[in-house]
Structure formats: C-alpha cells, structure tokens
Structure 1
Amino acid sequence: MQINTSAAVITGGCSGLGLAAAKALVAKGANVVLLDINQQAGAEQVNALGDANTLFVQADVTNEQQVTAALEQAVARFGKIDICVNCAGIAPAERTLDKAAQPASLAKFNQAIAINLSGTFNVARLAASHMAANNPTPSEERGVIINTASIAGYEGQIGQTAYAASKAGIIGMTLPMARDLAATGIRVNSIAPGVMATPLLTAMPQSVQDALGAGVPYPKRLGRPEEFAQLVIHIIENSYLNGETIRLDGGLRMQPK
C-alpha cells in the first residue's frame, strides 16, 4: 500500500496512540480523517496537522449511523478510504467482586465490550465496505485495517476483566476477519501494545511510570506512541502481513498486579 496516495480513518485519532498514528501518516503524505468524540481536540489537531489533508468528524464508534455518516464524509472529502486504524477505547478497572464481596457492575462491563470490541468491529466492517469499492493496487490490494488490542488480552491483570475480555475479543477476531476479507484484497492485523506512554499513564506520578517501565525486560521504559505509529506504518507498507496480532511490549509479560 502506497501511503502517500492513501486516505486513512483513525478512531480515537485526537490523542494517544491514534494521534501518533495520524501524525506519522500525515508525515508520509496521507490524507487523514480523525474520528473521535472530543470535538475541541479534533479542531485543535486539524489545526496542528494542517486542514489541507486532515478532517475531523465527531462520532461514537458504537453508533452505526454516526460511523456511517462519518465514513461518507471521509469519502466525500478524500474520494476513498484505504486505511482504517482503530484506536478508540476505554480502560475500566473493577474487580469481579470488591472487598465487600459486591459484584462488579454489568453496565460497566458491557460498556467496555461495546466501545473496545463492538466499536472496533463496527468501524472495521463499515470501512471495509468502502475499501471494497477501491481500484486494486498492482498486487490486488484494496485496503488495510489495523485494530488495537493489548497484552491484557493475553495476560489480564487483577481488576481488568472487562478490559482484558474486550481486547482478547479483538485478538480473536483478527484472523477470521482477515480470512473474511481476503478475497476482497483487504488485509487485517492487530497491534497489542504493552505499557505505553499515553496520556492515561503520563498523568500518573513519575514514580509510578518508572515502576511500570522497570518491569519491561528491555528497554526498561514505557513504550512511546511514536513506536506504535512506526508499527502502523510498517503494517501498511508490508503487504505480506495479514491476520496477525503483533505484541509491542519490550518482552513484557504482565503479572497478576
């Protein structure tokens, strides 16, 4: 996939991993659509990235009508969708039973599944329908979908039942989705980051960040959003990567807590 002639949609594109991917794609010459719920951040990032080749559309990834409309706006502006990077998500923390033996909230569990897993599937399937209309590349490729899982999908920690289940679902649907879309020329891969220096973690005290980084075999630090973005670029450009979930974690295997 040639990035400099492509149009990409990035969910959660106004902060963290999504924003890093957006910056990397814009630097490579892509047109980028930031799909996010934060309207103020959207305006700020379009201004920072340049409105000539970026567009912000406010949309909830769990809402079929909003995502459908957002993708139609993307096509109206840039003519097509070649790349979809799903980064929108939440990270709730709640034990199955608390210290008073009270059960976790089903509503919060369902919310994590809805945003992280169902939202990812919703955007991916709708983006794929647009990609299917693209003219194929010389290698018969029509699109690339990259979903964001987590190493919690393999080694969920205490209090991560909802988050781990949602990310394990993303890992689980990667291969069958790639198989579903193979005949159309659309590749599907996922990235499973470890502890990354996103706004959620960088807001924590430095001592906490240092402790998290110390648990990584090498390098002993938090992962950088730019490293996530580098992997996004590689997946897009390497046409033989398909149906794979790639860990980006410095060799970290999460302990129970």
Structure 2
Amino acid sequence: MDLNNLTALVTGGGSGLGAATARALASKGAKVTVFDLNRENAESVAQEIGGIATSGDVANETHLSAALDLGEAAHGIARVLINCAGIGEAIKTVGKNGAHPLDKYKRVIEVNLIGTFNATRLMAERLSLAEPIGEERGVIVNTASVAAYDGQIGQAAYSASKGGIVGMTLPIARDLAQSRIRVCTIAPGLFLTPLLKGLSDEARASIGAQVPHPSRLGQPDEYAQLALHIIENPMLNGETIRLDGGIRMAQR
C-alpha cells in the first residue's frame, strides 16, 4: 500500500514508538492523526509533522470513535492504524505487600489488550465499507512485546496483555481477510522509550548489553521502519514479528 496521501491513525502517538512511527508515516506523505492520553504530547508531535492531534483513553469507544471522526473529516477515511498505546506495571503475583492488586492487573489488560482490540474493531468496521485501493482496503499494525514470550518476574499483567495481542493477531487477520484488511503485530525487545530515557547512560548501556546483536537498545525509528515495511508489503499478514536483536529475556 502506497502511503502517499493516505490517512493514518497512531495510538500512543505522542511519544516513543508511536511518535517515531507518526513521523515516519508523515515522511512518506501520509496524513496522520496522533492519538495519545497526553494531549500536550499529541499536539507537539502533530504540529511537528503537519498532522492533527486528539487525546483520550484507547479503551474508550467514544474517544476512539471521535479520533476516527476527526481524522476522517480532515483527511478522509483512515487506511492505516498503528496501535502503540500501552502501559506497564512491575508487580509480583505475591510480594511484600501481599497479592497483586486486581485493579492494577485489570488496568494493564484494559489499556494494552482491550484498547488494542477496541481501536482495531472500530477502524476495521469503517474500513470494511470503504472502496478498496487496488487489492486491499487498509492495514493494521499492533504492538506486542517480547514479554509475550519471555515474561520476567513482576510482568504477569504486562505479559498477559501482550500475549493476548499476539494470540489475537491471526484470528483477526482471518476475520478481516474477506474485507481485504491486513493485520500484523510487532513484538519489540529492549527499546529506548521514555521509560528507559529516565535512566543514566550507564544503566541504559548495561541493559542494551543484554542484546546479542546489535548490543544496544533499539531505536524507535527502527520500529517505525518495520511498521512501514508491513504496510508496504502486501504479503505480510497474520504474523507477529519479533524485533529484538535476538534477545531472549532472563527471569529478571
């Protein structure tokens, strides 16, 4: 799918992987709607790339529908969805403060897994009614994590949410095949996201050294490169791709 003049929605587009992908899409000529819980971040990225900004909770149907309406009114129906919105918690199943708080577990599942599905289903409904462009109508790229496979201590909620994204990739791709909509997932390893930017240079280097090759943290631009390739390569569908430099995470 040629991105020039197409409309795209990026959830979690105000920072990290989402912001890098929004920039990459715009560089290809796409018209991008940046959706983020943090309104200021969304507006900053949108202004930089000549897109439009909107804020809200990715798991909220009203918020997502409004974001799709906004982009469609400005630029036409969105043909590309990049789901990067997500949160994480590091809490053991049973720790020094007792059992894992159920509300925190539910919130991670709600944002990461339900939020991804919410955006996917609402986007796909609209796309299914649009005219095809060549042999397809659009592309959806979701974001999982290597934690879906190599969950560490304290990652029960996060790994479950990302494992759910991996697990639903193929059935959703099969569901949407008749509508000519492709669905893939990227499972990043250790990337230089806002969470890790708060660490010292020494700490980041130590974490990056765990990666076999290249022995460093991944750059958000490298995630964006893969997202764009998925969009542009029509035979990529129903697949989860690890983007991790060959790392297999230890238990902690």
TM-score bracket for the superposition, by shorter chain length: over 0.9
Matches within 5 A, 1:84-233: 84-99=81-96, 102-139=98-135, 141-233=136-228
C-alpha deviation, 1:43, in angstroms: 2.0
Write out per-residue CA displacement over residues 220-246 of structure 1, whole angstroms, 9 at most, x where no aligned residue.
000000000000010000000000000
Partners in 2 of 1:46 and 1:242 — Cα distance?
Answer: 29
**Equivalent residue number for residue 38 of structure 1:** 38
Partners in 1 of 2:95 and 2:49 — Cα distance?
Answer: 44
Identical amino acids, percent of aligned pairs = 50
Name which of structure 1's ranges 34-43 and 218-227 shifts more when overlaid on structure 2.
Answer: 34-43
C-alpha deviation, 1:133, in angstroms: 2.1
Could you tell me the TM-score, scaled by structure 2's length?
Answer: 0.98
Retained in 1: the 8 A contact 2:33–2:46?
Answer: no
C-alpha deviation, 1:59, in angstroms: 1.7
Retained in 1: the 8 A contact 2:43–2:54?
Answer: no
Name which of structure 1's ranges 203-212 and 166-175 shifts more when overlaid on structure 2.
Answer: 203-212
Say what the alpha-carbon RMSD is for the aligned residues.
Answer: 0.9
- What secondary structure, in the 3-state scheme, does the structure 2 residue paired with 1:33 have? strand
Partners in 1 of 2:154 and 2:117 — Cα distance?
Answer: 24
Write out per-residue CA displacement over residues 99-148 of structure 1, whole angstroms, 9 at most, x where no aligned residue.
36x10110000000000000000001001111112221222x00100000
| Equivalent AA in structure 2 for residue 160 of structure 1 | Q
C-alpha deviation, 1:56, in angstroms: 0.5
C-alpha deviation, 1:73, in angstroms: 1.3
Query: Structure 1 residue 67 and structure 2 residue 96: aligned?
Result: no
Unmatched runs of 5 consecutive residues or more in structure 1:
none
| Equivalent AA in structure 2 for residue 22 of structure 1 | A
| Equivalent AA in structure 2 for residue 125 of structure 1 | R
**Equivalent residue number for residue 10 of structure 1:** 10
- What secondary structure, in the 3-state scheme, does the structure 2 residue paired with 1:5 have? coil
Could you tell me the TM-score, scaled by structure 1's length?
Answer: 0.96
C-alpha deviation, 1:162, in angstroms: 0.4
Please list every run of at least 4 consecutive aligned residues from structure 1 whose deviation after the TM superposition is greater than 4 angstroms: none
| Equivalent AA in structure 1 for residue 58 of structure 2 | V
Partners in 1 of 2:92 and 2:216 — Cα distance?
Answer: 27
- What secondary structure, in the 3-state scheme, does the structure 1 residue paired with 2:4 have? helix
